Amino acid sequence: MKNYLLTLMYDGSLFHGWQVQNNALTVQSCLQDAVEKILSVRENVTGCSRTDSGVHANMFCCNMRTDREIDTALFKKSLNAVLHTGIAVTEVKEVPYGFHARYNCVSKEYKYLIFNRDYNNPFYSGRALMYPYKIDAELLDNEARDFLGTHDFTSFCAANTDTEDKIRTVKAVSFKRENDFAVFTVEADGFLYNMVRIMTGTLLDINSGKIKPGSIPEIIAKKDRAFAGVTAKPCGLYLNKVNYDL
């Protein structure tokens, strides 16, 4: 048996998330369809996370165990020839048999992209949040630093999640202006359901005055979703980087 690490990128606006669902187009189902066309067997692929409907990936990793001997360069080319056009395979490599795309991940980095002009950009429809109000990027960069460290992020998790352990370690954050865009970047050892979207919504609520500056430590301490800001739309969220000790 062999184990292969596949690295992808995809446009989440075209899919109902990563994980296979009944009667819905997902990235995982499309990838397994493509593998089946090439290998004539439907192999399971295990993802590094479960991105939601509308969420994008600049880098998404999954592993596939198979008894087939694969030429990785040819397999990558073949996959890209038959895959849905919203998905691209950027790398295929063999990894140790015990490697698991989710459990061996040491950190992930997400970016949230905000188009910050007083008009909508049709070329970024479904790929960035359209936000017409002035953003104080310097203020929000300072506010975002309160996310750093190891905390119980219950306040920044969707209320209906069944995840019991809500302690995560945020390793790096930034909120920067890049021409017409404002970009929130956060790296952590793991993320809760809707965590980055709620972080983003909270920062934008601070920007608009709905939440006072300096409130993030208090919101974290409350351990109550009701005290954080809105959940930003999925369209601006990108899984940007997945880190392994390989």
Task: State the sign of the Cα–Cα–Cα–Cα dihedral 116, 120, 121, 122.
Answer: positive
**Can 162 be counted among the known catalytic residues?**
no
Q: Which member of 52, 136, 141, 146 is catalytic?
A: 52
Query: Cα–Cα distances in Å, from 59 out to 38, 101, 114, 146?
Result: 23, 12, 19, 26
User: Quick count: other Cβ atoms within 10 Å of Cβ 30?
Assistant: 19
What whole-number distance in Å separates Cα of residue 55 and Cα of residue 194? 11
Query: Whose structure tokens read 């849905």?
Result: 84
Which residues are part of the catalytic machinery?
52
